[in-house]
Amino acid sequence: MASQNPESSEQLSQQEETESPITSLLSEFNTKLRDVEERQKLIKERVLLIGENLVNSREETTKEISELKMKTESIEKEIERLKDAVSSLIEESQNFARKSEVEILQRQFKMFQPLKNK
């Protein structure tokens, strides 16, 4: 086998030269394909993580809104109760005598008790 035909050796060399660019192109394509697949995998994982975060944020926000609604209702009830109490106090205060009226009554009472004043 040491004495190969020069033509077959030349054909083998041409074949290797032809295969070499094709092989390198295929290898480069394969590398780029793996890179794209890896990027796609990373993007998919990020999208899933963002989706989970979005769901968690929505649940927390819904819970906070619910709590705020309950607090608002409680505050509204308390305000209504305070309004009722103030109205009741106003009605009762209208039944009280004014200071000037009490002073007039005191003077009249003193006029009918002349002996005690001296």
Domain annotation covers residue 55: yes
Q: Which of 11-25, 47-61, 63-77, 83-97 has the lowest mean pLDDT?
A: 11-25
**Residue 3 falls within a domain, yes or no?**
no
Task: Give the model confidence (pLDDT) of 75-108 as tens digits.
Answer: 999 999 999 999 999 998 888 878 888 889 888 8
Domain-located, residue 20 = yes
Residue 53 and residue 59: Cα distance in Å, rounded?
10
Tell me the pLDDT band of 114, cut-offs 50, 70 and 90: low
Measure the CA dihedral 12/13/18/21, to 10°: 130
In the structure, what pLDDT confidence band is assigned to residue 21 with cuts at 50, 70 and 90? confident
Q: Indicate whether 105 belongs to any domain.
A: yes
The rounded distance, in Å, linking the Cα atoms of 97 and 105 is 10
Residue 50 domain flag: yes
Tell me, yes or no, whether 64 lies in a domain: yes
- 18, pLDDT greater than 80: no
Q: Looking at the 3D structure of the chain, how many domains does it have?
A: 1
Is 94 contained in some domain?
A: yes
95 or 60: which carries more pLDDT confidence? 60
Q: Which domain holds residue 42?
A: 10-117
pLDDT reported for residue 1 = 46
**What is the model's pLDDT at position 116?**
64
In a domain, 58, yes or no: yes
